[in-house]
Amino acid sequence: MAAPVTPVVSAQWLAKAVISKLVGPKLRILDSSWYLPKTNRVAREEFNQKHIPGASFFDIDDCCDKSSQYDHMLPTSSDFSRYVGDLGIGNDTHVVVYDTSDFGSYTAPRLWWMFRVFGHGSVSVLDGGLKNWLAEGHPVTSDCSKPERRDFQAELNQSWVKSFEDVMENIKTKKVQVVDSRSSGRFQGTEPEPREDVLPGHFPETINMPFTSFLDSTGKHHGPETLAQLFKEAGVDLKKPLWASCGSGVTACHVILAAYRLGYSGVGLYDGSWGEFFKRAPPEYIISEGEGKKE
Mind telling me the catalytic residues? 246
Q: Measured between alpha carbons, how far is 108 from 279 in angstroms, rounded to an integer?
A: 27
Largest CA distance in the chain: 59
d(C-alpha 251, C-alpha 154), whole Å? 23
Cα–Cα dist 63/77, whole Å: 11
Edge-first strand listing for the sheet containing 161-162: 161-162, 268-270, 242-245, 177-180, 206-208
How far apart are alpha carbons 185 and 290 in whole angstroms?
9
For residue 156, which of 114, 118, 115 has the smallest C-alpha distance? Answer: 118
Burial class (CB in 10 A: 0-12, 13-18, 19+), 51: buried
From residue 187, give the alpha-carbon distance in Å to each of 27, 228, 253, 257: 38, 22, 17, 21
Neighbouring CB atoms inside 10 A of 206's CB total 21
Q: Do 160 and 266 meet the contact criterion of CB atoms below 8 Å apart?
A: yes
What is the spatial distance between Cα 233 and Cα 222, in angstroms, rounded to a whole number?
15
Q: Is the sign of the CA dihedral 112, 116, 118, 122 positive or negative?
A: positive
